[in-house]
A and B are shown apart, each in its own frame.
Chain A
Amino acid sequence: MKVIERAAFPRRLWERVRLNKNYEKALEQIDENLIYWPRYIRHKCKQRFTKITQYLIRIRKLTLKRQKKLVPLSKKVERREKRREEKALVAAQLDNAIEKELLERLKQDTYGDIYNFPIHAFDKALEQQEAESDSSDVEEKDDEEDDEDVGKREFVEDDEVDESDISDFEDMDKLDASSEEDQDDKSSNEEEEEKALNAKHKGKTPLKGPLQRKRAYVEIEYEQETEPMAKAKTT
């Protein structure tokens, strides 16, 4: 690709020379064709040629690598999708759905023995009437209560050994008045012991659950307060 002026013939004014594919040979060609031209122009010509070859090489290399494809986003579509997403979020009621699913799984007994909710166990035992581990817990409790009845004659509380002699089931009415006052004092101690013992023989993590339920039934709580004590004494 070279230029020569022949001013008289505009069609033949410029002369084009095809350069060699080899870079060095092409440079020599430029030199020999532009032989009487000023050095500066020859130099600039060669520079231009170098630039062109380099970018051609780069193009070829890049097409082999991965090419980023720009995908245009339609603003209308984006807005529409955003709005639909918000509405879907509201309709989904995620928290409720998750809670329902978890409770379903609890009912289906997928968690096994980790969670021991006594009432739940009792219901299941009623429904299914099968001897399972849950119902066996209930039976254990019955046994414990029997033990407690037996044991109660002898031991009641740690601190008030005197009262233990008095407190029979027949005399519970008299005791109720005094014991309930004491219950409040002792409840904190016994809760701790209950916790420890619960951890020992039931081995579950959510301690607040069963504790809360036990507080609802005052009478049972009284009995169970003594029960761990009995266990502690006997074991």
Chain B
Amino acid sequence: VSGDGDGQSRWCLSQVKGAVDDDVAEADIISAVEFNHSGELLATGDRGGRIVIFQQEQESKNIPQCRAEYNVYSTFQSHEPEFDYLKSLEIEEKINKIRWLPQKNAAHFLLSTNDKTIKLWKISERDKRPEGYNLKEEDGRYRHPSSLTTLRVPVFQPMNLMVEASPRRVYANAHTYHINSISVNSDNETYLSADDLRINLWHLDFTDRSFNIVDIKPSNMEELTEVITASEFHPLQCNTFVYGSSKGTVRLCDMRASALCDQHSKLFEEPEDPSTRSFFSEIISSISDVKFSHSGRYMMTRDYLTLKIWDLHMESQPVETYQVHGFLRSKLCSLYENDCIFDKFECCWKGDDSEVMTGSYNNFFRMFNRDAQRDLTLEASWENCSPGYPLKTWRVCAGSRRKRNEIGVDCLDFSRKILYTSWHPQDNVVALATVNNLYIFQEKLNPEF
């Protein structure tokens, strides 16, 4: 993390997307943010079931100061609200997760999911269209058949670029509970989907069958003590995946060992510190996100207060633990009362795995440098920063006397939270969602400060 001691970072606001309005429609609240594998495209999903894809400006790609100029490329409705008549349940259209597939041809593909149904979308460009009919004019007026003297074969002519999103597959009816994760396998042909109690494995080409690879549903639901909260495939080993649980543990499974991975091969769990044990211990230890590093050597987990980095070779304790907002430990009771304690924060790795990022409250987000063991608290706020200018770094303190860059715990706004974050796979560009706004920040390459 780059920054000086003087309250300024090298991170600058690049763009804010979405209306800057106090009156936010429920449907506009962003619920997923994801860069594709090249970083050229950035997708967001919202509670209204829409997906908006932004494309990095081609011209600006090579100008370092404007790398992070993204403009709308395609917008489409991924999911519609539905009603399950058998169970009398409404199925929300909210997009829970978006995952890009590795690019296979000129088109781009992504998986999107709501609580029940996963869809595969193709986003493709078209710059030619056929022209020339035999029996009508191009504007649709019919020609009299008697004027037909020779056959005309249509010819493709250039036209303005058009971006189309088309649904290619719908993977439905495989989840009884709410889907929390989807993850594409490194074999490029399968992916997993996880709900509260089960994980299914799909082949991308087949929508009529999936294989159950984890099932933690007890035969008697009264005995239920743990649910699956997040799951991901290893980025390189096609046989390895992990899933995190509401009890704060992460299990690593090897699909080579057996068809049903009920037996984990590794269990990552940190022994609980008896001195901090409280009524909230289990709630705050619940894993809200788990992400492998790009190298495949490490894994990061996010729980309510901390970010932990685990070496896959060491199950007993994390190699690094970062306090995201440790000062909230004293406020857990009120966070429980306003339900904030159940917020599910995501986390992400920088392209070279040297830094990690996650969100917090008051539109703050946190970055941790793993080598220098330094951290930053930055704010995503269009009021408090202007494009191109460095962001100031914040400190949250308990006392009442404040310096310029300090804010008291009691002044934090818990309704403004950053749950969804994504880091450009190569560049120092990050995207994150506040309520209905998408913020894109970039790090200045040659520091002037």
Q: Is chain B a partner of chain A in the same complex?
A: no
Identify the A interface with B (CB < 8 A).
Answer: none
Identify the B interface with A (CB < 8 A).
Answer: none
